[in-house]
Amino acid sequence: MDKLTRRHLLGIGAAAASVTLLPTAVQAVTRSATPWQTEGPFFPIHEQSDKDADLTVIDGQSEPALGEVVEVSGRIVDTNGDPIAGALVDIWQANAAGRYAHESDPNTAPLDPQFQGWARLVTGPDGSYSIRTIKPGAYPAAEAWVRPPHIHYKVARRGYKEITTQLYFGGDPLNDVDRLLLAVPEPERAQLIGDFSGGAATFDVVLARV
């Protein structure tokens, strides 16, 4: 092989290497923040001693909460995908009948005294969290509007923009007509929908820096 041909091949190889490396570098800085969702009127207002990661059992009680048990795990990360340690994560939701343990909830569905309803967690060094809960019920929000099952999140960490959002259950037909979910631009909507087909889902929350 002559020098010209060898030089030509080396040039092609260098160009190919640069093409291979470029997407990785671009992807590392283009992860978008999790879409915002309204906090809603039922953020917990009464302090409770039990706010651990298992919402299906209340300390000191032997009976578990009613409903289908599900698990959610994930990480709190920044837009580069780096873990955020020490993030405060509030998670709350309706019970299996679609009722919040909140004095302002007008829903006449029954309360579940065995359901914790609210968890407050702090992420570890890897930014991870996990909860065990029940699938919340749908509930009427307004005339001709029934909210699909969803779990509320509020995540805060100094140096990052606090976010309030909601996790939805994939495949639920009410998702297709929910006013809050449809208000999210379609390309971003999938970030809020979890695949619970196996009884567990992964949900990462991405925070932008201040």
Q: For this structure, is 168 an active site residue?
A: no
102 is catalytic: no
Q: How far apart are CA 92 and CA 43, in angstroms?
A: 7
How far, in Å, CA of 89 to CA of 84, rounded? 11
Q: Pick the catalytic residue from 129, 147, 153, 160.
A: 147
Active site residue 189: no
Is 139 tagged catalytic?
yes
Cα–Cα distance measured from residue 145 to residue 178, given in angstroms and rounded to the nearest whole number: 7
d(CA 206, CA 188): 12
Integer angstrom CA distances of residue 131 from 13, 79, 97, 155, 185 = 48, 23, 20, 15, 28
Tokens at 112, concatenated: 């579940």
- 202 forms beta bridges with 73
User: Among 99, 102, 152, 157, which one carries the catalytic annotation?
Assistant: 152
- The single residue of 150, 157, 160, 168 carrying the catalytic annotation is 150
Q: Is 150 an annotated catalytic residue?
A: yes
Q: How far apart are CA 198 and CA 96, in angstroms?
A: 18
Which of 99, 102, 139, 160 is an active site residue? Answer: 139
Cα–Cα distance, 121 to 113 (Å, whole number): 22
Catalytic residues: 100, 139, 147, 150, 152
